[in-house]
């Protein structure tokens, strides 16, 4: 952690964070893109230089698409296309140069993050915890779209905007509650994994027509053995017999 002055004249804190797990993951991803891009460029170079009817613009477009599909490693390669006259007519020459120093630096800095803040605390762990809380608040907006299935809505009034923020806050509160619940039960701190496992449970309403009314029975499917263990740790027993319920949507008489 280092203290420095910003261009505005205020004192700021810079904290360098490294994650071994994240480093290995990012290095594996970057290496995969480098290998994929290197193989694709070499194949494109071979085909372009063998072509008897060279089309420079077509080759450059193919190179552009290849770099776009592998954007993580695109800045590590310099590719140029030139048209040359040979004894057999015009030919294309594709030059591929891999920037070894930049590649080595990208792999070396994988899993490293630099936090910048105006907080003047002296404990790096406390600053990291505050940063994690910020990412969790931002994740609440993503939770409403991914886990809760709510799509973004363009609000035009203050009331609608405040309502949207309230829903995001409730999503964050529920997410944090589930996370702490799992942590107390010794199940880690990954609620999304638990939600994915819970999707294996299905409920079904069986409607039986009676003489004077309809009887609605709700049944719940049996959980897989692995999920049963999770539910037992969370002390969430599933109903093992059908339950009689009323109307899902009340009927009003006008």
pLDDT digit string, tens, across residues 180-231: 888 888 888 788 788 888 888 888 888 888 888 888 888 888 888 888 888 8
pLDDT at position 34 over 90: yes
Residue with the larger pLDDT of the pair 24 and 118: 24
pLDDT at position 176 over 50: yes
For residue 224, CA distances in Å to 50, 192, 231 come to 58, 18, 10
pLDDT at position 1 over 60: no
pLDDT at position 26 over 70: yes
Paired tokens of 225: 């053995």
Radius of gyration of the chain (CA): 29
Q: Using an 8 Å Cβ cutoff, are 31 and 137 in contact?
A: no
Residue-range domain boundaries for the chain: 21-108, 123-188, 200-245
How much is the average pLDDT of 146-160? 67
Residue 176 buriedness (CB in 10 A; 0-12 / 13-18 / 19+): middle
Across 30-44, 78-92, 165-179, least confident range: 165-179
Most confident of 58-62, 149-153, 170-174: 58-62
Across 31-35, 57-61, 112-116, least confident range: 112-116
Q: Report long-range pairs for 129-132 (Cβ below 8 Å, ≥24 apart).
A: none
Sheet of 203-209: strand order equals 203-209, 214-220, 243-245
How much is the average pLDDT of 242-250? 66
């Amino acid at each position: 952690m280092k203290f420095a002055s910003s261009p505005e004249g205020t004192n700021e804190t810079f904290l360098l964070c490294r994650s071994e797990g994240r480093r290995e993951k990012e290095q594996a991803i970057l290496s995969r893109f480098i290998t994929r891009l290197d193989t694709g460029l070499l194949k494109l170079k071979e085909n372009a230089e063998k072509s008897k009817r060279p089309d420079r613009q077509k080759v450059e477009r193919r190179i552009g698409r290849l770099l776009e599909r592998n954007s993580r490693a695109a800045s590590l390669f310099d590719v140029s296309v030139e048209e040359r006259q040979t004894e057999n007519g015009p030919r294309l020459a594709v030059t591929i140069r891999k920037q070894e120093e930049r590649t080595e630096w990208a792999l070396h800095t994988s899993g490293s993050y630099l936090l910048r803040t105006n907080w003047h605390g002296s404990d790096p762990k406390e600053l990291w915890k505050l940063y994690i809380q910020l990412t969790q608040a931002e994740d609440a907006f993503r939770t409403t779209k991914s886990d809760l299935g709510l799509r973004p809505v363009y609000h035009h009034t203050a009331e609608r905007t405040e309502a949207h923020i309230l829903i995001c806050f409730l999503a964050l509160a529920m997410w944090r509650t589930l996370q702490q619940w799992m942590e107390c039960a010794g199940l880690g701190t990954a609620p999304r994994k638990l939600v994915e496992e819970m999707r294996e449970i299905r409920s079904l309403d069986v409607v039986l027509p009676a003489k004077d009314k309809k009887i609605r029975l709700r049944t719940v499917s049996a959980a897989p053995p692995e999920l049963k263990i999770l539910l037992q740790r969370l002390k969430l027993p599933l109903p093992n017999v059908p339950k009689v319920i009323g109307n899902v949507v009340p009927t009003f008489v006008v």
